[in-house]
Amino acid sequence: MKDGRFIAFDVIQYNGMDVSKRPLRARLALLDLLPHPRPDHGLGGEFLEAVLANGGEGVVAKDLDSRFGATWFKCKRIETFDLVVTEKAVGKMSIRIAERSGLDRGWCPCFSEYEKIRVGEIVEVSAYAISKNGKLREPRFIRRRPDKSL
């Protein structure tokens, strides 16, 4: 966690035995036997909002009867940003994007519209958040905003 705590959310090995094929409810019972703190539990959106408020990026929802890795659903908040294209990288088919103030938000892959995009143009990009270094986390190009430019 961001405060330095380690929290185990699941267990795939217990006392040298592979327990990954056991259902989640059995793995959680084994996890309760370990001397590590367990994460808080909650209901749907309330739990996700609490995780996000504490600096987490999201949660993984799991079926209590499923084995490790099966029927998992990632739940993350995605934000959208209107940003200015400041540079293009031909070899990577990526665009460097920034706030209108000039604050750099990093690179974003852009395969579908790369040839049409111009430096100075506004594009809409989605991302999970802005990281500590100011760059977008896992940015994804959505669309050009040709009606808007710098």
The CA distance from 68 to 73, in Å, is: 12
In a domain, 7, yes or no: no
How many domains would you assign to the chain? 2
- Domain termination residue (choose one: 47, 76, 105): 76
Is the pLDDT score of 8 beyond 80?
no
In a domain, 2, yes or no: no
- Domain termination residue (choose one: 76, 104, 130): 76
3-state SS string for 24-61: HHHHHHHHCCCCCCCCCCCCHHHHHHHHHHCCCCEEEE
In a domain, 56, yes or no: yes
Compute the average pLDDT of residues 94-116: 95
The CA distance from 54 to 104, in Å, is: 25
pLDDT in tens, 91-100: 999 999 999 9
CB 84, CB 119: distance < 8 Å: no
Read off the CATH number of the domain in which 119 is found. 2.40.50.140
Residue type, 138: E
CB 3, CB 55: distance < 8 Å: no
In a domain, 3, yes or no: no
For the whole model, what pTM was predicted? Answer: 0.62
Tell me which of 83 and 77 has the higher pLDDT. Answer: 83
Residues 99 and 145 in one domain: yes
Confidence of residue 15 (pLDDT cuts 50, 70, 90): very high
Confidence of residue 51 (pLDDT cuts 50, 70, 90): confident
Residue 2's pLDDT is what? 63
CB 139, CB 117: distance < 8 Å: no
Confidence of residue 56 (pLDDT cuts 50, 70, 90): confident
Domain containing 39 equals 13-76
What's the DSSP call for residue 100? T
Strand blocks (E) in the chain? 13-14, 17-18, 58-62, 72-76, 79-89, 94-98, 104-109, 121-127, 140-149
Residues 70 and 103 in one domain: no
Q: What percent of the chain has pLDDT over 90?
A: 51
Tell me the chain's radius of gyration from C-alpha atoms. Answer: 21
